[in-house]
Amino acid sequence: MNKKNIKNFPKIILIEPIWGNNTYPYYFGTIKELFSSGVNFTIIKEKITSVKDIKKIGLKDEDVIIFGYGWLGSEYFHKIEGIEDLKNLKLCFFHKPFNNYEQKVKFVRESNFSLLLSSTPKTKKFNIDTKIKTILFPYGCDSRIFGLYPQKNKKFDIGFSGALHNSIHYKGVEFASQDLRFKAQQKISKYFAGKKFLNGSDNIWYRIKSTKSYARILQKSKIWLSTTGPMNDMSSRYFEVAGSSTISLTNDIPEEYSSIFKNNKNVIVFKNDCSNILDKLANALEDTKKLKEMALYSRNEVMKNHTYMRRAEELIKLIENLKS
pLDDT at residue 207 greater than cutoff 90: no
Relative orientation angle of helices 180-191 and 277-286, to the nearest 10 degrees: 60
What pLDDT was estimated at residue 172? 76
Confidence at 228, pLDDT banded by 50, 70, 90 = very high
Model confidence, pTM: 0.94
Do 159 and 219 touch, CB atoms closer than 8 A?
A: no
Domain residue extents for the chain:
3-139+307-323, 156-305
pLDDT digits (tens, 9 = 90+) for 122-146: 999 999 999 999 999 999 999 999 9
Q: Which residues of 32-180 form beta strands (DSSP E)?
A: 41-44, 64-67, 89-93, 115-118, 134-136, 156-160
Question: Alpha helix locations (H) across 179-274?
Answer: 180-191, 211-219, 237-243
Q: What percent of the chain has pLDDT over 70?
A: 98
Q: What is the DSSP letter of 81?
A: B
Question: Alpha helix locations (H) across the chain?
Answer: 3-7, 29-36, 52-55, 69-73, 101-111, 123-130, 180-191, 211-219, 237-243, 277-286, 288-305, 308-323
Q: CATH assignment of 3-139+307-323? A: 3.40.50.2000
CA 305-310-315 angle, 5° bins: 130
Do 163 and 125 touch, CB atoms closer than 8 A?
A: no
Q: Which residue has the higher pLDDT, 1 or 48?
A: 48
* Cβ-based neighbours of 16, under 8 Å, separated by 6 or more: 28, 31, 43, 44, 45, 67, 68, 69, 70, 71
pLDDT at residue 5 greater than cutoff 70: no
Find the mean pLDDT for residues 174-184: 87
Find the mean pLDDT for residues 71-100: 89
pLDDT at residue 6 greater than cutoff 80: no
**In CATH terms, is domain 156-305 a member of 3.40.50.2000?**
yes
Confidence at 10, pLDDT banded by 50, 70, 90 = very high
pLDDT digits (tens, 9 = 90+) for 264-319: 999 999 999 999 999 999 999 999 999 999 999 999 999 999 999 999 999 999 99
